[in-house]
Chain A
Amino acid sequence: VALLHVVYFGVFGPSALIARLFGATLLDLAPRQRRSYWLERQPTGRSVIELMRQF
């Protein structure tokens, strides 16, 4: 657990701050008013090869 805290504050956090500084949208947290919030999906993988991937 202590090591995870070190990773969080020493590596993960600074990287996150740099990414945010350069305008990366890591999560859609902005309040907004739009006509639609739907996102089109990529076609679902439908081969065994695609289903072998964990991503």
Chain B
Amino acid sequence: LDILGISCFYHDAAACLLRDGVVIAAAEEERFTRKKHDASLPLNAARYCLEAAGIDAADLDYVVFYEKPLLKLERILAGSAATFPRSRRMFVQAMQTWLTEKLWIRSRLRNALDYGGPILFGEHHVSHAASAYFPSPFTHAAVLTADGVGEWASTTVGIGSGTDLELTHEIRYPHSLGLLYSAFTAYLGFEVNEGEYKVMGMAAYGRPRYVDQVRQLIDLAEDGSFHLDMRRLAYHRGSRGFEGAFEELFGPARQPEAELEPTYADIAASIQLVTEEAMLGLARRARDLSGSENLCLAGGVALNVLSNARILQDSGFRNVWVQPAAGDSGGCIGAATFLYHTVLNNQDRHRMDTAYLGPEFSNAQIHAFLECEGIAHSVLAESAIAPTVARLLSKNHVVGWFQGRMEFGPRALGARSILANPTDPAMKETLNAKIKHREAFRPFAPSTLVEAAATYFDFGVRSGEVESSFMLLVAQVKRDKQHLLPAVTHVDGTARVQTVRYEQNPLFYDLIREFGKLTGVPVLVNTSFNVRGEPIVCTPEQAFNSFAHTDMDYLILGDALVPASSKRRVAAYPGSSRIRAAEEMIV
């Protein structure tokens, strides 16, 4: 049974192919079109999924879309009517895209894929919930989803049991934790749907002095639900998430690219703290409703690693599993798995143990590219890749690492990564300034062996080995180890950790182990293989182009090692410094 899942038209469009309950391919459209967070119909991603499955669209049993378009349109029209005449810009902008594109999703999919079978429509938060529950290791779990908004819901709680999934309660738009956080993202001078990570990173530099003001925006009820004061927010009537009444509370908005003033860091710390409290309340409600000790999380807010860590530590759940593509891109997996298990009643569930679901390139394809472009390189024996790269990293060289299938989701997990030595105190500055070309305050994440994680990191739970396979949990770097890991220890002593098991990625595991043998520290800096404004690289050519435009020292493409002396620009600079602080938020 082959099901093609599709999510698109808001941000992070993606497609996946579910075969007999197993996700055999998934990819975001941005990786193919090279437009970051591309929301367009993911035809490239869909074609890749079909190719990976070795089938044509005509062979599919179902195509399923991750939400109900007409319910979403109803919400937009209701919002525009409720805020007339201030909604003029939003209405016109929304109708342009709806009338020309979004209303015709069924026929567009049919025509583009040349597919004549059934096209189904899930619900946005059911898709999120299913993407968290069905690939999880649990047979019974509470489910919590929180994002900007789907059709009407912005937050849901429910229960997954066997092949059944039911969401029992919801909070509706315009009351939304995700949109509240995005309003602060815009206020702090960052791009909505992109800069939320930056707010999280910035929060560590501040003190939560503005918590009382943030609480004037959100009423947190004892049962975990919440309600926003929409008089001070503006996303429901236009593209800016905030306006004058908001600035009366917090002062003038920060301009994009402005210096990081302490006040803004304090505001970031305050919204972060309130978000954590809100998520904790929601998680406790989910636990009370379900009586389960397992929690599955998805939705864009589940990418907030600090709140995930608070949930793990303080909500009373013993186990927490977060969908690696927790944002809208993962919705395609949820729509497909919900159809497969709950609607079609298939019992065989399959755990999503890795996120390596994207395209891969053979060594022969890589060699052909390098030779065609005349790029000097050396070819390593398979057994020499890990020791050679580990030696380069131990000498403080920065290495572009391109191996196997590309990751699905926003995190680089050792397939399309830039790697470096975390023990070098200068490495963070080198990576931010010379390679990633991004803000100096942003931290870098470590990857470590699962069995070494407890030596270096404290996840704040009393018992058991914590896995963070998808880099979706934050841990404290142990006090006596912080001096060993200056490049990945954030200013507040935390790190967003990836733990690696051998079975998940043998080559990456061996690399970390070899690095550990050389330095005594089996931990690497692992940051996504892209420059600022660029989607993570997908192909060898894109990897080489990013490499050529930065100060990386080596590039390892499969078994081909490319030194910096081979750099030459095969295409234009792939990144962007353009900031779109007033990004559309809800249309």
Contacts and interface: CB of A to CB of B under 8 A. Distances in A.
Given A27-B236, A36-B223, A55-B70, A41 B81 contact: no
A31 B96 contact: no
A53 B105 CA distance: 12
Contact of A37 (B92, B119, B168, B227): B227
Interface residues of A, number: 39
**B-side interface mostly:** mixed
* Residue of B82, B83, B173, B339 with most chain A CB atoms under a 10 A cut-off: B82
Contacts of B387: none
A16 B71 CA distance: 18
Contacts of A41: 153, 156, 158, 167-170
A21 to B, nearest CB: 12
A45 B88 CA distance: 34
Contact of A1 (B78, B92, B120, B342): B92
A36 B118 contact: no
Given A29-B230, A55-B68, A8 B92 contact: yes
Contact of B227 (A5, A34, A44, A51): A34
B509 to A, nearest CB: 40
B2 to A, nearest CB: 16
B125 to A, nearest CB: 9
A12 B81 contact: yes
A54 B106 CA distance: 9
Given A4-B95, A54-B68, A26 B223 contact: no
Interface in B106-153: 106, 118-123, 126, 153
* Residue of A1, A28, A38 with most chain B CB atoms under a 10 A cut-off: A38
B93 to A, nearest CB: 9
Contacts of A33: 219
* Residue of B92, B158, B165, B226 with most chain A CB atoms under a 10 A cut-off: B92
A19 B81 contact: yes
Contacts of B84: 12-13, 16-17
Contacts, number: 129
B211 interface: no
B82 A39 contact: no
Interface string B58-101: 00000010001111001001111111110010011001100000
A34 B81 CA distance: 25
A31 B167 CA distance: 26
A39 B125 CA distance: 14
Given A28-B175, A41-B169, A46-B342, A52 B227 contact: no
A46 B83 CA distance: 35
B225 A20 contact: no
A51 B121 contact: yes
Given A27-B83, A55-B71, A39 B92 contact: no
B169 A39 contact: yes
Nearest to A53: B121
Contact of A16 (B74, B81, B118, B226): B81
Contacts of A45: 123
B121 A31 contact: no
Nearest to B67: A54
Contacts of A40: 168-169
A12 B209 CA distance: 43
B118 A48 contact: yes
A14 B70 CA distance: 22
A16 B86 CA distance: 12
B436 to A, nearest CB: 38
Given A8-B92, A27-B174, A52 B121 contact: yes
Given A12-B91, A55-B68, A55-B71, A26 B79 contact: yes
Nearest to B236: A27
A8 B230 CA distance: 23
A26 B82 contact: yes
A31 B78 CA distance: 18
B221 A51 contact: no
Contacts of B156: 41
A53 B118 CA distance: 11
A55 to B, nearest CB: 4
* Residue of A13, A29, A31, A52 with most chain B CB atoms under a 10 A cut-off: A29
Contact of A44 (B85, B123, B221): B123
A35 to B, nearest CB: 6
5 contacts: A9-B85, A31-B229, A45-B123, A46-B343, A53-B121
Interface of B: 64, 68-71, 74, 77-85, 88, 91-92, 95-96, 105-106, 118-123, 126, 153, 156, 158, 165-175, 219, 221-227, 229-231, 236, 285, 339, 342-344
Interface of A: 1, 4-5, 7-9, 12-13, 15-17, 19-20, 26-29, 31-41, 43-48, 51-55
8 nearest A-B pairs in the assembled complex, by CB-CB distance: A16-B81, A27-B82, A26-B82, A37-B225, A51-B120, A55-B70, A16-B84, A38-B169
